[in-house]
Amino acid sequence: MEIRTHSDLEKLRYNGLSILYPQRPRISVGMATCGLAAGAAAVFDALREEADILGFDFMLVATGCIGYCQQEPLVDVRMPDLGRVLYARMTPERARKLISALAAGELPAEHALASIPEETSNIPKNSEVLSGVPLINELPFYARQHKIILRNSGLIDPCSIQEYVARSGYQSLSRALLNLSPQDVIDEITRSGLRGRGGGGFPTGKKWQVCSDATGNPRYIICNADEGDPGAYMDRTVLESDPYSIIEGMTIGGYAIGASNGYVYVRNEYPLAIERINHAIDRASELGLLGEDILESDFSFSIEVVRGAGAFVCGEETALIASIEGGLGEPRPRPPYPAISGLWGKPTIINNVKTWASVSAIVVNGAGWYSSIGTEGNAGTVVFSLVGKVANTGLVEVPLGLTLKDIIEGIGNGGLDGKRVKAVQTGGPSGGCLPASLFHLPVDYESLTEAGSIMGSGGMVVMDEDTCMVDVARYFLNFTMAESCGKCTSCREGTHYMYEILSRIVEGKGTPDDINLLEEIAKWVKGTSLCGLGQTAPNPVLSTLRYFRDEYDAHVGEKRCPAGVCRALIQLTIDPDLCNGCGLCKRECPMEAISGEKKKLYFIDPELCTHCRTCYDICPEGAVKILR
């Protein structure tokens, strides 16, 4: 079947609705990379096997990420006439028990995380399906979230175009091609206030206008899916969970600027994302939603996937373009900007994965709808991968303007194991570390930049009292030093020098002059580097110097690591009042530095101990103490 007209699309939509809301049970398992890493494939198989054994008739679906990654594997059960419930931390054994209960006509409360209200005819409207099980929106993790970019993530089968269309997919493209001129589309995006979600926050409509006004043909569309920040997996998840939203956005972008070819540049380390986006491109092409004369509009557009080799700098737009052209992935000075002279020297729009997924939501719902979400100047939503020393981890989407506190304490539920949160790092290796005293700040592009960090693409790493901020700065510097392409001297040499100084400090060999030199080099690298990598690489150093100077001073002046992390600056000892003589520490110590007899006290020999903290991590009584 080809989709030639709007009514063809409507038929596909009805077909999709019957799959999304079937008369028989539908069980979805979150099977993005995060779910698979937690064992979702075995759960999926167990559900199917047990249902086969019991003759239980149901629809089993592999969806993308359901968001609450920490609770995975997650299983979403929709039972007509009974209700819809999300089950957490499933195992194959629990999955089999679940099927037995469902086959007996029961929605069990065991391992139920939340019930999900749904306004369809065959699901009870009263969503208090199971007593004692909260509604999903009552869970702190979900309560403040507003899903636009992740609107379909975890709800649809990413390989089913019918399910995408059933959730208003392709309504935007249809509206754009059949009712709007290219300039209308650009105006709609401009009015919406959408800013690029790749990190810089440049107004998307303005960029499209510059490109539209530029001379030169052909023109190109690029989706930047080179996400490489440590701890960040937002873009991978969107590709794995809702690839059609990106394809639809790019097709609309192509129509707006007059491009017939698009590229998705995705890092090779994302095999599942590559598989799913390729599948979606093939399917959309089969149905005529990519290719010639889309929806009989005379507009033609095709998309190709280009795999990046995993260099962080290739996420920078000019380096990315060079890489697609087959050259070295090195940035070049701008201007000219890609909107005027991009791929093969032609006008090119490059936007982030999340920007494209936002475009496909905006054109159908309208600029006014989008700009009413978020704050003035910072419209819409932003996706964070909330990770680190925080109680609730996962992928969260919030309106811009929520405070850091709302996210870390509200959604994240504060520190891990009740520990005090000390700082948050936003923006990946280009970002900065902000102290807890600034958690009242709203999350928007300007506030984070003023405070010395950046919004970035969506990495949010939470740190607690056991995190050494000097060590954190060194960790990120190690990353940027290794990823510097080496083209400009300040980035190549500067990151190297900063890393050397930080290493001296964490090894207890630093001097007060080192701190001053570090600051001086950081400012020099920031001011003189060619591209964003070098210009932002000093941010972790400058922000930790700004807010955690006392930790640097302690390392240098007192040869002490207040967080108890830097191995050269700590001593380990066993508290005789807490030691129960189990001997686990002695057994596990790789240096054989612990002596003692079972049921008696154990001792650490400081001459042999390398401060690896194995004993500290495994002692069941918390008897091993770090002298900071």
When binding is defined by CB under 6 A, the residue of 262, 342, 399, 532 that contacts ligand FMN is 532
Site map 341..370 versus ligand FMN, x via CB under 6 A:
---------xxx--x---------------
Q: Which stretch binds ligand FMN (CB under 6 A): 58-66, 102-110, 161-169, 525-533?
A: 525-533
Q: Least distance from C-beta 605 to ligand FMN, angstroms?
A: 46
Task: Say which residue the tokens 């700009």 belong to.
Answer: 371
| Residue 61 CB partners (closer than 8 Å, separation 6+) | 26, 27, 28, 29, 157
Q: Which amino acid is at 414?
A: G
Under DSSP, is residue 279 helix (H, G, I), strand (E, B) or coil? helix
Beta partners for residue 574, in sequence order: 624
The whole-angstrom separation of Cα 518 and Cα 500 is 10
The SS3 assignment for 609 reads coil
Using the rule CB under 6 A, give the single segment among 86-94, 106-114, 514-522, 526-534 that binds ligand FMN.
526-534
Going by C-beta distance under 8 Å and a sequence separation of 6 or more, which residues neighbour residue 336?
A: none
- Least separation in angstroms between CB 314 and ligand FMN: 8
Separation between Cα atoms, residue 64 and residue 447, nearest integer Å: 32
Closest distance between ligand FMN and the C-beta of residue 201, in Å? Answer: 7
The stretch among 220-228, 446-454, 572-580, 609-617 that binds ligand FMN (CB under 6 A) is 220-228
The residue within the footprint of ligand FMN, chosen from 11, 117, 202, 553 (CB under 6 A), is: 202
Tell me the C-alpha to C-alpha distance, in Å, between residue 606 and each of 16, 265, 560.
67, 52, 16
The footprint of ligand FMN on this chain (CB under 6 A) covers a number of residues equal to 23
User: Quick check: 533 binds ligand FMN (CB under 6 A)?
Assistant: yes
**Within 13 Å of residue 584, how many CA atoms lie on the same side as its CB?**
14
Minimum CB–partner distance for residue 517 and ligand FMN (Å)? 25
How is 448-492 classified by DSSP, letter by letter? HHHTT---TTSEEEEEETT--HHHHHHHHHHHHHHH--S-SHHHH
Cα–Cα distance between 96 and 510 in angstroms, integer? 58
In the list 28, 172, 224, 543, the residue contacting ligand FMN (rule: CB under 6 A) is 224
To ligand FMN, the closest distance from the beta carbon of 267 in angstroms equals: 8
Q: Which residues pair with 480 in a beta bridge?
A: none
Please classify residue 596 by burial: count the beta carbons closer than 10 Å to its beta carbon, then call 0-12 exposed, 13-18 middle and 19+ buried.
middle
Angstrom distance (rounded) from CA 60 to CA 576 = 55
Distance in Å, CB of 199 to ligand FMN, minimum: 5
Residue type, 461: V
Nearest distance in Å: CB 293, ligand FMN: 28
Rule CB under 6 A: choose which of 227, 397, 406, 409 binds ligand FMN.
Answer: 227
| Out of 295, 361, 525, 531, the residue judged to bind ligand FMN by CB under 6 A | 531
- Shortest distance, position 375 Cβ to ligand FMN, whole Å: 18
Q: Which is nearer to ligand FMN, 196 or 452 (CB)?
A: 196
For tokens 């390398």, what's the residue?
Answer: 610
**Considering the rule CB under 6 A, would residue 481 count as an interface residue with ligand FMN?**
no
Dist CA 124 CA 94 (whole Å): 25
Q: Is 226 in the site for ligand FMN (CB under 6 A)?
A: yes
Question: Which of these ranges, 173-181, 198-206, 437-445, 603-611, lies near ligand FMN under the rule CB under 6 A?
Answer: 198-206
Helix ranges (H only) for 511-583 are 512-528, 532-536, 539-547, 549-557
Q: Is 501 a binder of ligand FMN (CB under 6 A)? A: no
3-state SS, residue 350: strand
β 571-574/624-627 pair status: antiparallel
Residue owning tokens 């009740």? 418
What 8-state DSSP symbol labels residue 134?
P
Pairwise CA distance, residues 383 & 143, whole Å: 15
CA 159 to CA 277: how far, in whole Å? 9
With CB under 6 A as the contact rule, the residue among 30, 92, 199, 394 that binds ligand FMN is: 199
Least distance from C-beta 534 to ligand FMN, angstroms? Answer: 8
Residues 616, 623 contacting (CB under 8 angstroms): no
SS3 200: coil
Of 103-142, binders to ligand FMN (CB under 6 A) are none
* CA–CA dist 544, 31 (Å, integer): 37
Residue ranges with strand state E in 242-290? 261-267
Question: Nearest approach, Cβ of 312 to ligand FMN (angstroms)?
Answer: 6
CB of 327 to ligand FMN, least distance (A): 16
Of these, 182, 198, 243, 494, which contacts ligand FMN (CB under 6 A)? 198
Q: Measured from the CB atom, is 83 or 494 closer to ligand FMN?
A: 494
Q: Which stretch binds ligand FMN (CB under 6 A): 24-32, 237-245, 313-321, 443-451?
A: 313-321
Amino acid at 132: G
35 is a site residue for ligand FMN (CB under 6 A) = no
- Decide if residue 397 touches ligand FMN (CB under 6 A): no
Query: For the window 228-247, what string marks contact with ligand FMN as x by the rule CB under 6 A?
Result: x-------------------
**Contact pattern from residue 315 through residue 344 relative to ligand FMN, giving x for each residue in contact according to CB under 6 A and a dash for the rest:** xxx---------------------------
Compare residues 157 and 330 and give the one whose CB is closer to ligand FMN: 330
Nearer to ligand FMN, 147 or 197 (CB): 197
Please report, as residue ranges, which positions from 450 to 469 form the binding site for ligand FMN (by CB under 6 A): 457
Which residue lies nearer to ligand FMN by CB, 289 or 537?
537
Give the residue, chosen from 39, 134, 200, 310, that forms a contact with ligand FMN under the rule CB under 6 A.
200
Q: Which is nearer to ligand FMN, 139 or 234 (CB)?
A: 234
Q: Is 376 exposed, middle or buried (0-12, 13-18, 19+ CB in 10 A)?
A: exposed
Binding mask 43-62 for ligand FMN (x = CB under 6 A): --------------------
Cis before 335 (ω within 30): yes
Among 151, 197, 276, 283, binds ligand FMN (CB under 6 A): 197
**Binding site residues, ligand FMN, CB under 6 A:** 196-200, 202, 224, 226-228, 312-313, 315-317, 350-352, 355, 457, 531-533
